[in-house]
Amino acid sequence: MQVFICYQKYHDPTYVSTKKSNMKLGLGLYKSTLTKDNFAFAKQAGATHIVAQLVDYISGSNPTLTKNYLNGWGETRNQKKPWTLDSLISLQKTVSDSGLILEALENLDPSHWYDVLLDGPKKQEQLEALKQLIQNMGKAGIPILGYYFSLAGVWGWSSERLGRGAPKSVVFDASKIDIHTPIPKGMVWNMTYQDNPDNDFLAPVNREEMWQRLKYFLDTLLPIAEENGVRLVAHPDDPPLPEMRGTARLFYSPEAYENLFDVNDSNASGFEFCLGTLQEMPDSDVYGLLDKYSQNNRIGYIHFRNVIGKVPYYREAFVDEGDLDMVRIMKILKKNDYQGVIIPDHTPEMSTTAGWHSGMAYALGYMKGVIQTLNQA
Ligand SMILES: [Mn+2]
């Protein structure tokens, strides 16, 4: 009987569980917005969990993604300044004092791992510090670390007022930029970590080399993650192009993303499942991919955002306005009893004095509404 129930649950597209959903609503906050006011804002909008970014790359109290970031997200000069156990415990305490749960840290500081990405001379030293970070996360009770293994990083976006009511939106249009623009030395992940007095550029890096670098990173850190009850979850490439700025990108298609588990199949490895980025990939079946991986517990947490179009042209859209059917996404998560956190990731910025907050409140309200509706079905 049990077998039959499982079969029905996984293979009948009309199956609707009567069980209440255990998925959790969260909010991702940038370093500059990790404040008590924003924890209260998250609670007011129905979130129970926080995903914290400690890299200061989108700054200010009204953070914006809709600036020109072609010359980088900014500087990071935090070499030898790791995220200490004390600082993680302090963050954990501030979040829990606000009645929320700290679910994950999202993104590593380029200062802390540039030579892991670049296979440079400080690689071993930086990996040792990352081991310490994972141990510290385990001690502080932060169960997930989201990372994005990329040299060019998020690059090439522009901004336009597009879509319903013309909010400020992130646009990617490959015809308007030179995607082969080389990366200056001293920059990785679209942040500058050291000076480049000779104005040199990074040499091209091919796909095989990038896979080897990822494998070394995972083979070194996943055993530590397993020991410390921490999961390392990978974000796909945004924009999802096979190559950018002379460097191969690993996760530019669903098939390439799934290769993550061929490189190392540790249970401590998973996806930072970005619905928007996956939808931006040509020929992607986001529903199928989500169904598969939310069944086998390979998703650390979900970036719940929508988009119109695919590479080489797309723009970010309100959660109910884009190409993805977000109600169908929620139904898949409920069917598979997904227990993890979903966060809005990005939204268009609304025409208020707090464009980012308005967009996030709108997305969280929508998400809460769909979850409540499905729970009453
Ligand atoms: Mn994302």
> What HEC string does 333-363 produce?
HHHCCCCCEEECCCCCECCCCCHHHHHHHHH
Q: SS3 of 297, please?
A: coil
Alpha carbon of 12 to ligand 1 centroid (Å): 30
Residue 180, CB half-sphere, CA atoms under 13 Å: how many?
Answer: 1
Predicted confidence (pLDDT) per residue in 44-103, tens digit: 999 999 999 999 988 888 888 887 778 899 999 999 999 999 999 999 999 999 999 999
Q: Determine the angle formed by the axes of helices 85-97 and 36-44, rounding to 10 degrees.
A: 40
What's residue 9's pLDDT?
46
What's residue 292's pLDDT?
97
What's residue 17's pLDDT?
55
What's residue 13's pLDDT?
45
Predicted confidence (pLDDT) per residue in 267-291, tens digit: 999 999 999 999 999 999 999 999 9
Query: In sequence order, what DSSP letters do the residues of 152-210 get, joined into one string?
Result: S-S--EEEEE-STT--EEEEEEGGGS-TTPPPBTTEETTEE-S--TT--BPPPB-HHHH
What's residue 70's pLDDT?
84
Alpha carbon of 273 to ligand 1 centroid (Å): 7
Residues in the chain predicted with pLDDT less than 70, given as ranges, are 1-18
What's residue 66's pLDDT?
80
Asked if 140 and 229 touch (Cβ cutoff 8 Å), the reply is no
pTM of the model: 0.94
Alpha carbon of 135 to ligand 1 centroid (Å): 25
Domains and CATH numbers, the chain: 17-371 (3.20.20.150)
Alpha carbon of 286 to ligand 1 centroid (Å): 14
Alpha carbon of 200 to ligand 1 centroid (Å): 30
Alpha carbon of 363 to ligand 1 centroid (Å): 14
Alpha carbon of 323 to ligand 1 centroid (Å): 16
What's residue 244's pLDDT?
98
What is the spatial distance between Cα 184 and Cα 202, in angstroms, rounded to a whole number?
6
Alpha carbon of 21 to ligand 1 centroid (Å): 23
Alpha carbon of 3 to ligand 1 centroid (Å): 36
Alpha carbon of 7 to ligand 1 centroid (Å): 32
